[in-house]
Structures are given as structure tokens and as C-alpha cells.
Amino acid sequence: MARTTIKRRVKHAPLYLVISTAMLVACGSDDNSSSSSKTTDLPQLSAAEGVNYSGNCSSLLGTLSFENTSISSVTTVAAGELSVGDTSIGEHCLVSGTMNERTSDVDGKSYAIGFEMRLPKDWNGRFFYQANGGNDGSVVTATGSYGGAPYVNALSMGFAVISSDAGHSAGQEFGYDPQARLDYGYQAVGFLTPMAKSIIRQVYNKVPDRSYIGGCSNGGRHTLVAAKRYVDEYDGYLASAPGYRLPRATTARLGWAQAYASIDGTDPANLSTAFNATERLMVANAVLAQCDSLDGAEDGMVQDFQACQTTFNLQEDVPTCSSERDGTCLTQQQKDVISSIYEGVKTASGEAVYSPFPYDPAMGGGDSAFWQYQAAYWFESSSTAMIFTSPPVELQEFNPANFNTVEYALTTDLDDILAKTEATTDLYTESAMSFMTPPNPEDMSALKNRGAKIMVFHGINDQAFSVDDTAAWYESLEQGTGDTEQFARFYAVPGMGHCSGGQSTDQFDMLSSLVAWVEQGEAPESIVANARGSGNPVGVNADLPASWSADRSRPLCPYPKVARYNGSGDIEDAANFSCAE
């Protein structure tokens, strides 16, 4: 398959519980003849077989055991007591506990890896590791979520699911403890995985036939890291918006803050004054005017996002203010700063900090403003200063209340930060770019050769982590591993923001597709995605334009293909679009 180089110019049908290749639409191939292809030259993993657990959940307390693990409770969750959207979860056992309890020699605080496992009475023979987002720090409900807004999740499909806090409580100050850093980066997954499989064996009298891991944002990062560090433990990997270069992305956000603050008239405490909501919407409309028809349909969506980056030109396609800013133009200074942000922030020495970000017509709404203007102050400063640099900033009594996030974001030298993300000390013996990133991510040979599969999706309007960064990683697989389509698929989701939302069709079920690929050899070509309009059981997407139908559908296409209108038929229906380069 030809690779595309990223260039820059300076009525929904619920899928419910059935894993089936019927949900793969026929518009996936250029000739529309097939929606999936059989992979035959790599090992084919067998399908999982389920069993029932007829025992009493509470009787398991005191019998379940694993080294360095404390099981605090085992309870029964009745059918229907837990729901996701309008999907009721069946009866299951809830196991809660901790691993590796200890007291830090550095900050004197207590640490442990907290977790919960949900074990269905009607188990499908599969295990799902729910990799969570943000800085972790809490044990969220183990439903088996992984980003997007699917009708089903792993738990409702019958998977045994684990969720964890990755070894620390909420907040960034855990970064002063060297082991907590490593647990957050990758070791919590390494500790929890064999424990979870052992608990499953003790309950069902068999280990999982097939194991999967997935998550969004930092959870996507966890997933890509596991694909390298724990490749023998998992058969399927599902990563959404994988911030796999997270220390670099957080540093870039500080660069955004510094760039926005440099615009005349900007209030440093409110960076949105540099590029306000009216101006952002004006630019978004200019992007739409230039790029909407590139895929053959003027429908408020830009499918061919890479072509859009060479079609839209901020300097030429947006008016330059001749006097005061009034929402209909940008000053030349604004244009220069915004261009520098979207083209990729650079340090004073000229080093690219992170990836470029594409212009997208959804940039005017959704969660764009938060990532553009607030994230640098809310948590990127603290994360960078306390977790990702070695040594971390000196912090009185390890109390983040004593840390000025605005001052740090606006005054810290980016060259210095990048150097410290690569540095080690006698205490912090592994750098952030080591413990947070997958080693040699372009080489997935071990995953490929054992018959495992990886699927990745990323919103084009995600302004936390760039879809361009994920596309560059995916392209690198061809050189670093080869035969990429035999084991990996990447889907760029037009208009979608960070993990979900945006002016997008963000409701789809990739987990069923991944299972069908891993266990049946049915490689997904395209996947139907729906909008979440009025009446959606999972929740209405407030970012949807009023002109869209409530259940607009589109095919999500394997990169570098994009959905193109066939020239006739209802533009609200995915059946009238085909995937093509």
C-alpha cells in the first residue's frame, strides 16, 4: 500500500453483544467488493471459549491470592445494577484490592497499585485491561472503555475487565517518588497483568484464552507501551488518541502558552484573549470553505484532512485586520503565532518539540479551547515539572499548592525542559522519555510475528495529542516492521476531539472488529461510525451541527484512505461513501 507523507504549507444500528464481521461495511475497498480480507501468512490465534461461574462471589474473599496483593472485597453486582448508556451489565463479581503496598523513602507517603476487577458470571473467555487516561490516580469503573462512544464495552460483551490507578493517588506530586514514576509509565501494567490472569484462573478454573488491552489518551499510550514491553501478554491492542510521546506533548503545550501570551493585548491569566472564540470560529469556517468539498460532499466534514493542510492557508484564506480586531479578521501577529503553533512549536534552538496539528473545521468548538488555552495551567505545567523532568522542580513539602503553574508555563525554557525529559540522576535512574514511551515503536515485529493485532484511532480535531503524530508512527511501521496491514490498522476520525465528541461521527465499535481480526483472521477495512444526535442511548454529542441528521453515518477508513462521496445518494448515509486514497 502506498504511504502518504504528511505535508504542511508555511439510521445507526446498535451492535449490542454480538461479535460479527457483519458490521464491517462494504465500502472498505476500492472496488466495493469486500469489507475485510483474510490474513493467512501470519500465525492465526484461536478463538476464545467462554465458561460460566455459578459460585457465590462473596465466597471468593479469603480464597483469592497472589504475591504482594491484598484483596479487600469481593461482592456481587446484580444484573442491571450497572449500566452504560441503555446497556445493562449482566451479573458479575467485583474484586477490589491493592498490589505492592509500600512507604516511599523520598516523600514518606504510602503507595500501592489500586485496582478493581469485574468478572462476569457468563464469561466469554477473554480478558481486557482498561488503560485509563490523564495522569491516572483513581480506580475508575472497570467497564472496558477505550475511547469513542460505542454502544457496547468489553464488560457488557462478557470480558473480564481490570482497571487501576497505576500506583498513585490523584495529582502530580507522585512524580517525586521514583517507583511511582515507573509504575505510572509502564510497570503497573506489568505487575497487574499476571495477577489479573491468576485471579481469573482461580475463579473460572482457566486462564483467559485471549487477552486485550485498550484505552484513550494516556490509556492509548499505555496500550502502545504494552505492545512493546508486554507483547507476550496480550493478543489485541486497541489504542485511541495515543499520547505515546506524552512528555513532548506536554512541553509543546507550554510552548503554546508562551506563544499565545506574546500576542499584543493578551491577558496571561486568560490565554483565550489571544485568539478568542469568535475568531476561532471564523478560522474554522474558512477551513471548511476551502476543504469541505475535497471528499466530494459538502457536508460540514473534512475527510481528506491531509489534502486540507495544503489547500487551506491561514495567511491567505483569512482576512488580515487593517484596524481593530472585530472577529472578522486576524492581525498579522496573530496569524504568525497561530501558524507557529499548528506547524509545530520549536525551541529557541530550533528543535521541534512535538508534532504539527492539522487545521479542522471542528476547531471552533468542542474541547478545543480547553486544550489550547487552559491545559498548560491546569495540569501540563505540574506534570512536566514534577513527573517528566529529572530532577523535578524543588517543591516545598511536596505540596503542589506551592507551585505557580502560570509562572512555570510562561517562563520556563523549552530547551531546558526537553533536556530534562531525557535526563537521569542517581535517584531518577530512568528518564521520562524512557519510562513513558514505547521503546522503538516503529518495530512491532514481535507483535506481528506472534499473530497479535493492533488497531488505533485518533480524532483529527484532537488538540491534546496530534493525529499527525499518530499517522507518522503508523507510517514508520512499514520501514521498521514491514507488511503493516497484516497486523495494524489506523483510523483518523474526522472532526472528533480528544477521545470523543466534536463535529464527528464518534460512535463505533472497534473492539468487536479487533476480536474478529485476532480470533477469526478477518482484517477490518472500514467501520461504520454514527453521530450521537437526539435520543442517542449513550448520550447526545452537544457539538453536532443542527443541520446533521441525528444518526448521520460515515465509514471510518484505514489510513491513508479517506471516505469519499460516491456522487449520489443521501449524504447522511455511510452506504453512499467509499474508502479511497
* Mean pLDDT of the residues in the chain: 92
C-alpha cell at 259: 506563544
What is the per-residue pLDDT for 291?
A: 98
- Going by C-alpha positions, the residue among 168, 157, 165 that lies closest to residue 212 is 157
Which residues 6+ apart lie within 8 Å of 228 measured at CB? Answer: 438, 439, 440, 441, 444, 446
Q: Does the pLDDT at position 349 exceed 80?
A: yes
| Phi, then psi, of 340 in degrees rounded to 5 | -65, -30
pLDDT the model gives residue 251? 97
Give the confidence band of 40 by pLDDT, cuts at 50, 70, 90: low
**Taking 60 as the threshold, does the pLDDT of residue 9 lie above it?**
no
Q: What mean pLDDT is predicted for residues 176-195?
A: 98
Model pLDDT, residue 87? 87
* Spatial distance between the Cα atoms of 490 and 456, rounded to a whole number of angstroms: 5
User: Which sign does the torsion angle of CA 489, 492, 493, 498 carry?
Assistant: positive
524-563 tens-digit pLDDT: 999 999 999 999 999 999 999 999 999 999 999 999 999 9
- pLDDT band with cut points at 50, 70 and 90 for residue 38: low
CA–CA separation, 213 and 233 (whole Å): 10
pLDDT of the residue at 325: 96
| Cα–Cα distance, 222 to 242 (Å, whole number) | 8
Res 531: pLDDT: 98
pLDDT number for residue 346: 96
Rounded CA-CA distance 403/443 in Å is 39
What's residue 2's pLDDT? 36
Contact at 8 Å (CB) between 500 and 494? no
**Residue 520 burial (CB < 10 Å; 0-12/13-18/19+)?**
middle
454 confidence band (pLDDT: 50, 70, 90):
very high
Asked whether 227 and 480 are in contact (CB, 8 A), the reply is: no
Taking Cα atoms as reference points, which of 85, 86, 150, 154 lies closest to residue 118? 154
Q: For the segment 131-163, what is each residue's pLDDT rounded down to a tens digit?
A: 999 999 999 999 999 999 888 899 999 999 999
**How long is the chain?**
581
Q: Which amino acid would we find at residue 202?
A: Q
34-43, 186-195, 270-279, 548-557: least confidently modelled range: 34-43
Quick one: pLDDT at residue 195?
98
Confidence of residue 366 (pLDDT cuts 50, 70, 90): confident
Q: Which of 430, 441, 443 is nearest to 183 (CA)?
A: 430
pLDDT bucket at 523, cuts 50 / 70 / 90? very high
Helix H or strand E segment including 54: none
User: Using one digit for the tens of pLDDT, what is the confidence trace for 89-146?
Assistant: 999 999 999 999 999 999 999 999 999 999 999 999 999 999 999 999 999 999 999 9
φ and ψ of 163, to 5 deg: -135, 150
Closest by alpha carbon to 116, among 133, 132, 102, 105? 132
Tell me what percent of the residues of the chain surpass a pLDDT of 70: 93
**What's the pLDDT score for residue 328?**
97
- What tens digit of pLDDT does each residue of 251-286 get? 999 999 999 999 999 999 999 999 999 999 999 999
Tell me the residue type at 442.
Answer: E
Find out whether 155 and 144 touch, Cβ atoms under 8 Å. yes
Q: Which residues are catalytic?
A: 217, 462, 498
Q: State the cell numbers at 79.
A: 444484573
Residue with cell 454502544: 151
> Beta partners for 128?
161, 212
pLDDT digits (tens, 9 = 90+) for 385-412: 999 999 999 998 899 889 999 999 999 9
Q: Above 70 in pLDDT, residue 11?
A: no
* Span 477-503, pLDDT tens digits: 999 999 999 999 999 999 999 999 999
CA distance 448 to 486: 8
Q: Which three cell numbers stand for residue 520?
A: 477469526
Does 509 score more than 90 pLDDT?
A: yes
pLDDT by residue (tens digit) across 434-453?
999 999 999 999 999 999 99
Q: Which three cell numbers stand for residue 545?
A: 451541527
The yes-or-no verdict on residue 35 having pLDDT over 80 is no
Q: How many CA atoms lie within 13 A of 577 on its CB side?
A: 31
